[in-house]
Amino acid sequence: MSDPAAAGPKHVLTLERVIDAPVANVWRCWAEPKLLNQWFCPKPWYVSESRIELRPGGEFFSVMNGPGGERFENLGVCLEAEPRRRLVFTDAFKPGWVPSERPFMVSHVLFEDTGDGRTKYTAHAMHWSEETLREHEQMGFHEGWGKAADQLEELAKSI
């Protein structure tokens, strides 16, 4: 699968930055649930549980918790997992390829070695419609995914 931004799909939100940590560490922070829980949503929110099966159709599940007692379960599947290069997952399906009631997005994450111990990190949130893209923006995509990427960098540097 190529970079979706290069293909020019509609309804995509993108976060791109260089993370001051090696690709192997950044990948681990995505691939290992105990690490994912530490950075995956912006504080004061936190992830209390996650399950990740890095294979097509494998479960990608997380529970996000808010400071006011909010609890959001996110259930989906991996579409592609190429270690240290690419991770693609969606909430359009539940495990067993069962269609979800309301698909929201496909996440496409790229990890590129910059050659100097850092990682070019590109995360695309691809939506089915302009409406869901705007909904994601209003939920705080840019600020939230940016803060989560800061937390990702801090953790990846420490392991």
The runs of H, that is alpha helices, within the chain are 4-7, 23-31, 33-39, 130-138, 141-158
Question: Is 8 inside a domain boundary?
Answer: no
Question: Is 87 inside a domain boundary?
Answer: yes
Q: Give 92-105 pLDDT, tens digit per residue.
A: 999 999 999 999 99
Cβ–Cβ under 8 Å, residues 124 and 5:
yes
Half-sphere exposure of 121 (CA within 13 A, CB side): 25
Q: CA angle, 143 as apex, 141 and 123 as ends, to 5°?
A: 55
Question: Is 62 inside a domain boundary?
Answer: yes
- Residue 30: the pLDDT is 97
Question: Is 60 inside a domain boundary?
Answer: yes
- Residue 142: the pLDDT is 84
**Can you state the angle between helices 141-158 and 130-138, rounded to 10 degrees?**
70
- Residues in the chain where the model's pLDDT stays below 70: 1-9
Question: Is 1 inside a domain boundary?
Answer: no
Question: Is 40 inside a domain boundary?
Answer: yes
Q: How far is Cα 106 from Cα 68, in angstroms, rounded to an integer? A: 28
> How many structural domains are present in the chain?
1
Cβ–Cβ under 8 Å, residues 29 and 35:
yes
Query: Which CATH number do you get for residue 130?
Result: 3.30.530.20
- Residue 6: the pLDDT is 53
- Residue 68: the pLDDT is 96
- Residue 47: the pLDDT is 97
- Residue 3: the pLDDT is 54
Question: Is 10 inside a domain boundary?
Answer: no
Domain range holding 148?
Answer: 15-158
